[in-house]
Chain A
């Protein structure tokens, strides 16, 4: 019913005793997320309470390792200021945290080079940095997104941006289209989870039927995702790329949103996604309606497929098909 986070997620917050960390942790608890602890070096042994959820007393630890040992936490939300954020991510990975959601904006790229290297070969998945977080509607919210705009359902959402994701999610929800999980992968040049990683997760999730992919100028993450989709994904994908009108060489708010050396334009990404069979919206106002159309046509095809599938295929053919699916040899329609 979701990817990465859900009812079994036990969350800690690194930077819980700060203003933003405290406020958003309270919002997450209110949404139903199990917040089991906080980490602030030097404040271990104290407890934290939220104005939103006054009954809950959340224990604070000096280190992530202590928090994990005491609470069994498997996810963390990082609000640590930029100069110390890379250290916080590595500490969480060292403690074996499975999902590390880094909200912090402004981590120096050189620090993220070190983090990327440190995370190699570890089981931790980093989401972000510079992201709104991840939410499985109705069960677990880790991040700064407004919870109520989401609705439980079967569309996976991937995006590099915050408010543009809310915009897209709202367009879906107001059409009655729910979401399995929404992942804000972040606006930085070096990201823990890429578009391709997120597409793969949704493609393998039996409870996700379709994917919304929101990208923007800068880098080649969307192009790589397009190549992956072409090869492996049969679920419908609707995409929008922001920054079609952005000038070259200018950083558009996000550290990663820059066309450098003429590379990373919206046009390139849109062409790559279209070539991979993705429904590409030119206007961000059309994300919800495009998904609605795609799902309707899929439902129509589904009926046809059900009719033609009345005659079961021979067992040997079934096995062949399964093998082909496993090796990724199945061609996209």
Chain B
């Protein structure tokens, strides 16, 4: 789960990490009032969407008066921002964060992720602040410095090493110690999957987080109802949300062949085989290892809610869940949703013969396939008609 910048900063503040003073506004009037409340000569009006690259897309304005703040908010709120992270459809701005202006003397990058190989969180810092860290990693990897975070937490000597790498003077190093330590503590305590401050700025002898991005491990959210409450459903894909509700794993893609598969690995493999056959998958969909009739029905509805879908491929390997049960589910579901596009079904596994017989005798206009390659070529042909 992702949260907005203003929410991330609220959480940073809880962990005593300095952030600029700011107010949330959902209307130009609120933005005007926010500027007055802040009582500063200069402020930034920042679009709140779950994507980076807002500045370049016109989602961040620097303002010097309450009137300017109001005008900036009027321009930004409601606007659809297209950045390199939003996709071509962009994201609509619903609120802005009005924040006291800071003129940074220096900017750094700070981020924590789980290092899968080391099996622990790793803190990364770079003097190349404000830049896209992926680009820094690709072009100048020597500018990234890392420290692994053990169960005992980040240690002072590790902060000293990183401070040295960033070229912090003793006064700034004194501020970096609690900042880095608390950031690492927050990462673990709140089940983060990414905690990023970019840039971390030095201004007037103080270190503070100018921008922040937090992602959370969905599987740890049960421990953090306060973080869960920060979920903004406007930022999430409607179909993906619907799928999560019914216990299905679904990702929207931009092709025209709807895929329904049991198991995540087989679902990815099915997408690959569709592509190899010259088609393009409209989605990733895992109905789960023990798909029930209700789940299959719900999955069909989801697939059909995407108007790009020209044909559907069902690929099921029946293990513990038997093929005849799945076939009955597919038949009932196809009838219930009054399936309007060609359907190709490939079944394999337990009781496959009975399952195939049921499909053949169902009277539904569906095509049976014998293996994955056969299924893919049939569905691609059907979608092209």
Contact = CB atoms under 8 A, between A and B. Distances in A.
Contacts of B349: 146, 149, 166, 170
Given A246-B268, A252-B251, A189 B114 contact: yes
B249 A110 contact: no
Contacts of B116: 189-190, 219-221, 256
A253 B284 contact: yes
A242 B269 contact: yes
B268 A146 contact: no
A292 interface: no
B268 A252 contact: yes
Interface string A114-146: 101100000000000000000000000000111
Interface in B87-113: 113
A287 to B, nearest CB: 9
A314 interface: no
Given A163-B263, A214-B265, A285-B371, A117 B188 contact: no
Nearest to B269: A284
B296 to A, nearest CB: 15
A158 B372 CA distance: 20
Given A170-B317, A243-B272, A253-B286, A116 B120 contact: yes
A261 interface: yes
Contacts of B265: 159-165, 187, 214, 216, 242, 253-254
Contact of A109 (B219, B272, B371, B372): B219
B266 A161 contact: yes
Interface residues of A, number: 64
Nearest to B248: A253
B284 A252 contact: yes
Nearest to B268: A242
Interface string B52-76: 0000000000000000000000000
Contact of A146 (B137, B191, B319): B319
A224 interface: yes
Contact of A113 (B120, B133, B138, B284): B120
Contacts of A166: 317, 319, 349
Contacts of B5: none
B219 A108 contact: yes
With most chain A CB atoms within 10 A of its CB, the pick from B117, B134, B253 is: B117
A82 interface: yes
A70 B114 CA distance: 39
B348 interface: yes
Contacts of A219: 116-117
With most chain A CB atoms within 10 A of its CB, the pick from B120, B271, B317 is: B317
Contacts of B372: 167, 283-285
Interface string A280-296: 00111110000000000
Interface in A16-32: 24, 27
Interface in A179-195: 187, 189-190
A283 to B, nearest CB: 5
B21 interface: no
B19 to A, nearest CB: 24
B364 interface: no
B114 A83 contact: no
Interface in A255-269: 255-257, 260-262, 266
With most chain A CB atoms within 10 A of its CB, the pick from B220, B253, B286 is: B220
Contacts of A111: 220
Nearest to A24: B320
B117 to A, nearest CB: 6
With most chain B CB atoms within 10 A of its CB, the pick from A161, A166, A214 is: A166
B157 interface: no
B271 A245 contact: yes
B264 A252 contact: yes
A283 B320 contact: no
Given A108-B191, A149-B349, A161-B264, A253 B249 contact: yes
A262 B119 contact: no
A240 interface: yes
Interface in B229-279: 249, 251, 253, 261-276
Given A161-B266, A220-B116, A242-B268, A108 B217 contact: yes
Nearest to A266: B272
Given A250-B251, A252-B264, A109 B217 contact: yes
A225 interface: no
A283 B251 contact: no
A110 B263 contact: no
B306 interface: no
Contacts of B220: 108-111
A220 B350 CA distance: 34
A146 B121 contact: no
B336 interface: no
A106 interface: yes
A4 interface: no
Interface in A212-260: 214, 216-217, 219-221, 224, 240, 242-247, 250-257, 260
B319 A262 contact: no
Given A110-B217, A262-B134, A167 B266 contact: yes
Contacts of A220: 116-117
Contacts of A284: 266, 269-270, 272-273, 372
A245 B275 contact: yes
B371 to A, nearest CB: 6
Contacts of B171: none
A83 B221 CA distance: 11
B263 to A, nearest CB: 3
A65 interface: no
B264 A106 contact: no
Contact of A246 (B193, B223, B271): B271
Nearest to B220: A108
Nearest to B137: A261
Contacts of A1: none
Nearest to A287: B269
Given A113-B121, A114-B151, A149-B319, A243 B268 contact: yes
B119 A190 contact: yes
8 contacts: A113-B114, A117-B150, A190-B119, A244-B275, A252-B268, A283-B372, A284-B266, A285-B376
Given A164-B265, A244-B275, A245-B274, 5 more contacts: A114-B151, A144-B289, A220-B116, A245-B281, A285-B372
**10 interchain residue pairs of minimum CB distance:** A161-B265, A253-B264, A163-B263, A164-B265, A108-B220, A284-B269, A242-B268, A146-B319, A116-B119, A285-B373
